[in-house]
Amino acid sequence: MHFSTAEGARQRDAPVNWVVLEPGYKDPPIVVAVAKNAPHAAAARLFIDYTLSKDGQKLVQEVALRENVRIDMESSSDLLKLKDIAMKTNWDSIFANLDTHCKAFRENFRLP
């Protein structure tokens, strides 16, 4: 969830809030959350701490091939190989065929 989405929801009285990360991050992660009434909120916070740590970010880079968010870490060599690859999405085509894509999604995941 982006900041603007979380803030807009919070202003409409949704049970969400956001916090500013300590200095040292290039870009905030897109989604890092703990449910309001999580049965194991302390464990969730520990998981988030790990995910944002150097070890956690190294794992994110290696397994998910995602850029790390820390300023004190370099990109992994696998990510550097992808640096000059341009990925483009034809959103007009996707939205023009949205019903087809939604139907395929539901079928693939066996949803009603």
Calculate mean pLDDT across residues 71-81: 76
Query: Is 45 inside any structural domain?
Result: yes
Q: Say if 101 falls within a structural domain.
A: no
**Percent of the chain whose pLDDT exceeds 90:** 17
- Decide if 104 is inside a domain: no
Query: Directed axis angle between helix 41-52 and helix 54-64, to 10°?
Result: 80
Tell me whether residue 35 is in a domain.
Answer: yes
Q: Is residue 37, in this structure, part of any structural domain at all?
A: yes
How many angstroms separate the Cα of 5 from the Cα of each of 16, 21, 45, 86?
10, 17, 21, 27
The two three-digit tokens of residue 38, written as one number: 């999580």
pLDDT tens readout for residues 23-51: 667 766 556 778 778 899 999 999 989 98
Residue 70 lies in a domain: yes
Distance in angstroms (rounded) separating the CA atoms of residues 98 and 105:
10
Residue 106 lies in a domain: no
Number of domains in the chain: 1
- Structural domain containing residue 59: 3-82
Handedness of CA 46, 52, 54, 57 (dihedral sign): positive
Mean pLDDT of the region 95-111: 89
Please check whether residue 64 lies inside any domain of the structure: yes
Calculate mean pLDDT across residues 86-103: 82
Q: Which two three-digit tokens encode residue 96?
A: 């023009």
Confidence of residue 87 (pLDDT cuts 50, 70, 90): low
